[in-house]
Structure 1
Amino acid sequence: MKLFSKALEQGDRLMALQAGLVHGRIGRRAFIQMAVAAGATLGSAQAWAQTLGDAAITQRYNARALAGSYDYIVIGSGSGGAVVAGRLAAESDARVLVLEAGGTDQLDAVLNPLMWGTNIRSERDWNYSAEPSDAVNGRSLILPMGKVVGGGSSINVMIWARGHKNDFDFWADETGDENWNYANVLEIYKRIEDWQGPADAARRGSGGRLFVQEVQNPNPIAPAFLQACESVGIPAYADMNGEMMEGEGGAALANVRIKDGMRRNIPSDYLWETLARPNITLLTGALVHRLTMDGTRVTGVTFEKDGEVHSVMADSRVILSAGAINSPKILMQSGVGPAEHLREHGVEVRHDLPGVGQNFQDHILAAGCVWEYVTPLPPQNSAAEATFFWKSDSALDTPDLQPFQIEVPYASEVHGSTYDIPAGTWTIAPGIVRPVSRGEVRLTGADVGDAVAIDGAFLREEADLVALESCIELCREIGNSAALSEFVKREVMPGPISGAELREFARNAAGTYFHQSCTCKMGRDEMSVVDGRLAVHGIEGLSIADASVMPRVATGNTMASTVVIGERMADILLA
């Protein structure tokens, strides 16, 4: 425990030094000396000084010399936007402007894996919530989304979950574009990954830009959880993103984006080094008001920074990567969306596109099934180290359940006050990753400051509630199995419940995985917003590259599949 604490303290000092270098508070020479004193190798300290120092100087200059036009404007620096912007700038001479409403990612809360929870409902979160719903007993579920460089990849858990084979084959069928099928997406993953786990030449890549590894030195409860899953018929695998996600599912330790004890958000591998180039400008604190348009062609963006409104032209294209809530909001407030709804809120209709804001999806994560430790153990990595994918109904073609074993107590606001939950507890959080329910994002006004109304539709469809009930029962069976008995003093909640009591527990436990998606889906039907090449239907000069374009949410944590969307966008533009 002392060694673990010491490592965290060392990591915190290095994070603070890096932030100081980026913001110009520490010079390069002083940074190298202090970083080595804090435990970094001389080589690492020199590399950080070069990369972050050059980037800081270039970006300060570019921000002060804002141009009137750029070749590309990328709205958002999250898991899609960072990929697109970084590759455009690094692989071409195109002038790229990246507009990020939030601030820097060089913060302990972002870089320290165990501090990820402090980002939720902070200034690094847009602080969205769904409207109260009878399906979750009148509760308003929170919908965190990153308002910081890196977006969700900076504030959420660092799980790298590719998605199931059938997800991508479905996307290909919806769009009529075989570039989205599993075989082709697999080649993207192999190209970009630097996988540190068991070799699998057919499925995993090495030497790519994205460092991915299994959780290191896990809490002993994590491998025991895999044994418990096997005891109820769920096979354990060495890799959660290999063969396991081509078939019926299974259990595995998590793949994570953690290196040397620090979070690797997506900008760390696509933007940080690129920001030293003169052809990219990253503006933080830049709130987009709307797209500027000439007829049905997008010509640029109007945004606000430091109280001043700017209008900048895009000579080639605007790429909207603001996420599944803000992307449809920006579209609708720019006049692109369901015509009747826009007129209702005084927005001039530029193009009637009825699917904008529709088809909202998110994974359900229930809080949770909780046990008291015999002897409390400290959480490791991101405190969520083991998971499984399984089917609530054998007739399904793809696993629809994804619980996570969480090494701390996890209860909803209802159950937290209902049950006596001591500090030394751990959780299995039931999860649904193939929801049937569909919600929507709507405007409440035409101004950038007007809120959006989010109907999450959580558990509205009976099939989702039945699946969650099934998952709770399965999680209880696993948690009470012999394989986990050495970690169990007692079951804290929910206990042996069934019928109406189980249903009530499920409604009060339901939360989300923070995987908002699908509100600008790609496809060919009348409710589609973009085509297979991610261009907005009926609009010139505009593409979308974020989780909103998924026609159906990917099976598992959505960061990795959103990176693939960014990669496809970059491939299309660079071609």
Structure 2
Amino acid sequence: AMGRAIGGGSSINVMAYARGHKSDYDHWAAEAGDAAWNYDHVLAIYKRIEDWQGTPDPAYRGQGGNVWVQPAKDPNPIAPAMKRAAAAIGIPSFEDHNGAMMEGPGGCAIANTSIKDGRRRNMASHYLHPVMQRKNLTVLTRAEVLRLTLSGKRATGVELNWQGRQRRIGARREVILSAGALNSPKLLMLSGIGDETMLRRAGVPVRHALAGVGRNFMDHILLGGCLWEYNTPEAPRNNLAECTFFWKSDSKLASPDLQPFQIEIPFTSEATAKQYQVPQAAWSIAPGLVQPKSRGHLELQSADPRDRLKIHANFLSDPADVKALVRAVELCREIGNEAELRAYAKREVMPGPLSPKQMESFVRDAALTYWHETGTCKMGRDQMAVVDSQLRVYGIDGLRVADGSIMPRVTTGNTMAPCMIIGERMAEILKQA
């Protein structure tokens, strides 16, 4: 599921705006060896770009910026009921999950959304549409980039298909690749930049050996499980997902690793939908894992750009991820069955009380992607790093990558807002160049 539209994933996502935890950006800064990626600097960027519509909070939120953000407006009554239910089991309530809450152990809040007057606000509407008349900007639609062009160890432009013809566009100074965590590494590999063994196996001539390209694949896991039948059906509102909480699966962890979302419709996986009788009028609390230990990798099938990638996601390959998700299911069931939510629940549909073995099977059957693919051109200084702190591709002049693929570790929460930060940092870097 990819955003093949101007605005990318922000044009098709659930419009949830999660900025990430303090520890995420401090980790990025440590990996990159550059304080400009740390939480304090990133927080200043968020405050500069936001037009926050909630309760003013000058320490954490900005107003008057170009990015409209608001708490879910007039939410379905089950959303504030979930906040009260979470508080009843010891998860504190916050007015804003992107403020002080994301500097500590977590909490529960009404979700932030990028919705204005009932309409989606994607990143193109915030950033691109206002400057479309600039003479130094050309946007080609229905253009598919095939590979980069190189002269020795320098990027010189791109090859692309457009209007039925294969064409080349040259770059006087630099190429900036922002094709996402799947297609950015794919384009590097198609251009001969990547792991030598994998490139040769795919029939691509090696132009520059860079082992980390396509490695370190990460994604959040969302379970299609934990579902209750409505007592009296309530119509979904806003983005259908108006309440979320961040919490630790183990109190010893330094920061939250779980992010379940309340979803105001039945949310199942293919497997759990077959196993349970799912009523049409139902609501869910979907357990989510946002600091997975499992890592995967991407693989070219051939030198033909039309061939799809092989995605070796390796979901739940680390036993710690299964253990964390079992705890997430337990928390969601506790909240969903709390007194504060009983007025909205005729019965628990799934999973119900299960033995430890049954619970692990349920987690594996319910596991889905959160659609937060990241990490495949990671920023850092080790042997598997692809870009440095300035987002320059190691060993290739005139080439940078700026998208979710550069995350050394996926952020705690939905990844749209952190990808905005990567774009903002790219702009800062270019201004300083």
TM range (shorter): over 0.9
Pick the aligned partner of 1:262 from 119, 133, 136. 119
Is the aligned partner of 1:339 residue 2:177? no
- SS of structure 1 residue aligned to 2:259: coil
Amino acid at match of 1:198: T
Which structure has more helix as a fraction of its residues? 1
State the 1:498 CA deviation: 2.2
Give the corresponding residue for 2:288: 431
Is the aligned partner of 1:448 residue 2:295? no
State the 1:468 CA deviation: 0.5
Structure 1: 5+ residue stretches without partners: 1-143
Deviations 1:197-251 (A, max 9, x none): 1111111111100010000010000000000000000000000100000001000
Deviations 1:110-131 (A, max 9, x none): xxxxxxxxxxxxxxxxxxxxxx
Is the aligned partner of 1:211 residue 2:68? yes
State the 1:555 CA deviation: 0.4
Pick the aligned partner of 1:368 from 204, 225, 235. 225
Give the corresponding residue for 2:132: 275
CA distance in 2, matches of 1:182, 1:159: 20
| Structure of larger gyration radius | 1
Deviations 1:18-46 (A, max 9, x none): xxxxxxxxxxxxxxxxxxxxxxxxxxxxx
Give the corresponding residue for 2:170: 313
Aligned length: 432
Residues 379-398 of structure 1 correspond to what in structure 2 (within 5 A)? 379-398=236-255
CA distance in 2, matches of 1:412, 1:202: 40
Residues 16-415 of structure 1 correspond to what in structure 2 (within 5 A)? 144-415=1-272
Deviations 1:432-491 (A, max 9, x none): 000000000110000111111001111110000000011101100100000101001001
State the 1:385 CA deviation: 0.3
State the 1:306 CA deviation: 2.4
CA distance in 2, matches of 1:307, 1:452: 23
Amino acid at match of 1:213: Q
CA distance in 1, matches of 2:272, 2:51: 41
CA distance in 1, matches of 2:388, 2:333: 43
State the 1:175 CA deviation: 0.6
Amino acid at match of 1:241: N
Let me know the Cα RMSD of the aligned residues.
Answer: 0.6
CA distance in 2, matches of 1:509, 1:399: 21
Q: TM-score, normalised by structure 2?
A: 0.99
- SS of structure 1 residue aligned to 2:11: helix
Pick the aligned partner of 1:461 from 305, 315, 318. 318
State the 1:340 CA deviation: 1.5
Q: TM-score, normalised by structure 1?
A: 0.75
Amino acid at match of 1:263: R
CA distance in 1, matches of 2:46, 2:116: 19
Give the corresponding residue for 1:45: none
Pick the aligned partner of 1:505 from 346, 362, 379. 362
Amino acid at match of 1:505: F
Residues 545-560 of structure 1 correspond to what in structure 2 (within 5 A)? 545-560=402-417
Pick the aligned partner of 1:517 from 367, 370, 374. 374
CA distance in 2, matches of 1:256, 1:316: 37
CA distance in 2, matches of 1:365, 1:442: 24
State the 1:316 CA deviation: 1.3
CA distance in 2, matches of 1:469, 1:498: 11
Amino acid at match of 2:6: V
- SS of structure 2 residue aligned to 1:435: coil
- SS of structure 2 residue aligned to 1:170: helix
Stretch moving more, 242-251 or 336-345: 336-345
Give the corresponding residue for 1:417: 274
- SS of structure 2 residue aligned to 1:276: coil
CA distance in 1, matches of 2:29, 2:355: 40
- SS of structure 2 residue aligned to 1:359: coil
Deviations 1:131-172 (A, max 9, x none): xxxxxxxxxxxxx22111111100111011000000000000
- SS of structure 1 residue aligned to 2:43: helix
Amino acid at match of 1:376: P
Deviations 1:267-292 (A, max 9, x none): 00111121122221111111111000
